[in-house]
């Protein structure tokens, strides 16, 4: 405390001087206003160590300079954030989900020596470990993740904020995101929020229903029908379910864990490599329009599609040249997306569809 510098404080600081310690920052707390902050600079330790900062914890004041000094010092010592450069041959897989859904057990099952051969461990950040491994002739990077908590339950100064940010960063860094759901507890709002975040980032999505052994262990369970009923339950929660891969796993019993990797490989090919030839796509569009002509928004104008093509991958993107994007009813997007999936699949990945006409473009992913 800036106004209560005691003999014990002096003894502690003397130890730090004598031990040739790394950079030492002295922080004087309870500098609750400008006057007390200036008074703190009269303490005898101001110019003794590497830095001195008067702060006020109760008022959460005067922290900026201290944080900047610490951050710059850590950077000079090699502790700055960095991301390893991984080429497109790697599938970057993140397992995310609420606490206690079995993420750690699934990770252990995936990287266990009896499952895959781990090539090496590489820290791409100083606070997380990414595991590189090889499975079925494909290179993977399993991105470290933290449990997701509902943001409303986390105080702004709570250290768990970092866990939430780290999980969001994992989603951003990943190619494939496997959202782990507790099969016994079912879908929570937190699960829906996480999946929404994955979709916003246009990532490949796998839904993993874990603890399936506990589900089957319940009394009066029809084991032959329960999986179908669960899929029906999921379809009520997620209107995009038809293109999302759902895997029922038991991390404890190591059942169907490898399906996560096999599905990730399949989705990787669908997203990065699949291209529909323009001639084939236009033949498809012609048939789709004949079967269900576009519904218009304006009585005076009839929406028309002239031609289209796939213009990009990762994620797949289709552009349709039309008379006017504003003439199309929003529901026609869903029809075209469903027909594209029926004919060309594109499993596990969002599809971007745009209308383009008369200098206007309408993104149909929204």
Better-scored residue on pLDDT, 286 or 34? 286
3-state secondary structure string, the chain? CCCCCCHHHHHHHHHHHHCCCCCCEEEECCCCCHHHHHHHCCCCCCCCCCEEEECECCCCECCHHHHHHHHHHHHHCCCCCCCCCCCCCEEEEEEEECCCCCHHHHHHHHHCCCCCEEEEEEEEECCEEEEEEEECCEEEEEECCCCCCCHHHCCCCCCHHHHHHHHHHHHHHCCEEEEEEECCCCCCHHHHHHHHHHHHCCCEEEEEEECHHHHHCCCCCCCCCHHHHHHHHHHHHCCCHHHCEEEECECCCCECCHHHHHHHHHHHHHHHCCCCCHHHHHHHHHHHHHHCCCCECCCCCCCCEEEEEEEECCCCEEEEEECCHHHECCHHHHHHHHHHHHHHCCCCCCCEEEEEECCEEEECCC
Average pLDDT of the residues in 57-74:
80
pLDDT at residue 315 in the model? 84
pLDDT at residue 177 in the model? 93
Per-residue pLDDT band for 287 (boundaries 50, 70, 90) equals: very high
pLDDT at residue 123 in the model? 37
207-250 pLDDT, tens digit each: 999 999 999 999 888 988 999 999 888 888 876 566 788 999 99
Q: Which of 51-60, 112-121, 229-238, 318-327 has the lowest mean pLDDT?
A: 112-121
pLDDT at residue 86 in the model? 66
121-138 pLDDT, tens digit each: 333 333 446 788 889 888
How does the average pLDDT of the chain come out, rounded? 81
Its pTM stands at: 0.65
pLDDT at residue 289 in the model? 95
pLDDT over 80 at 355, yes or no: yes
Better-scored residue on pLDDT, 206 or 107? 206
pLDDT at residue 5 in the model? 80
């Amino acid at each position: 405390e800036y106004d209560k510098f005691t003999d014990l404080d002096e003894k502690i600081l003397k130890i730090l001087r004598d031990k040739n310690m790394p950079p030492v920052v002295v922080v004087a707390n309870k500098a609750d206003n400008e006057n007390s902050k200036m008074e703190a600079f009269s303490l005898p330790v101001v110019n003794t160590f590497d830095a001195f900062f008067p702060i006020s914890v109760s008022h959460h004041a005067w922290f900026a300079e201290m944080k900047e000094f610490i951050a710059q010092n850590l950077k000079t010592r090699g502790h700055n954030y960095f991301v390893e450069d991984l080429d497109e041959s790697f599938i970057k897989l993140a397992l995310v989900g609420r606490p206690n859904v079995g993420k750690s057990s699934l990770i252990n099952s995936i990287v266990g020596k009896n499952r895959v051969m781990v090539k090496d461990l590489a820290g791409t950040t100083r606070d997380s470990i990414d595991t590189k491994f090889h499975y079925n002739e494909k290179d993977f990077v399993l991105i470290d993740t933290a449990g997701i908590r509902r943001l409303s339950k986390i105080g702004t100064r709570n250290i768990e904020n970092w866990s939430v940010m780290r999980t969001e960063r994992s989603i951003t860094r990943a190619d494939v995101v496997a959202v782990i759901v507790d099969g016994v507890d079912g879908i929570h709002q937190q699960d829906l929020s996480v999946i929404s975040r994955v979709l916003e980032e246009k990532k490949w999505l796998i839904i993993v229903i874990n603890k399936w052994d506990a589900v089957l262990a319940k009394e009066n369970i029809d084991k032959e029908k329960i999986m179908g009923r669960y899929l029906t339950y999921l379809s009520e929660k997620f209107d995009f379910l038809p293109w999302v891969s759902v895997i029922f796993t038991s991390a404890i019993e190591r059942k169907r864990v490898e399906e996560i990797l096999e599905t990730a490989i399949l989705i990787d090919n669908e997203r990065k490599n699949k291209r529909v030839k323009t001639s084939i796509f236009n033949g498809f569009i012609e048939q789709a329009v004949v079967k269900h002509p576009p519904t218009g928004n304006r009585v005076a104008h009839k929406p028309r599609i002239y031609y289209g093509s796939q213009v990009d991958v990762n994620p797949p993107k289709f552009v349709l040249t039309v008379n006017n994007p504003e003439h199309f009813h929003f529901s026609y997007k869903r029809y075209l997306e469903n027909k594209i999936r029926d004919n060309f699949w594109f499993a596990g990945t969002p599809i971007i569809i745009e209308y383009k006409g008369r200098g206007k473009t309408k993104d149909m992913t929204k």
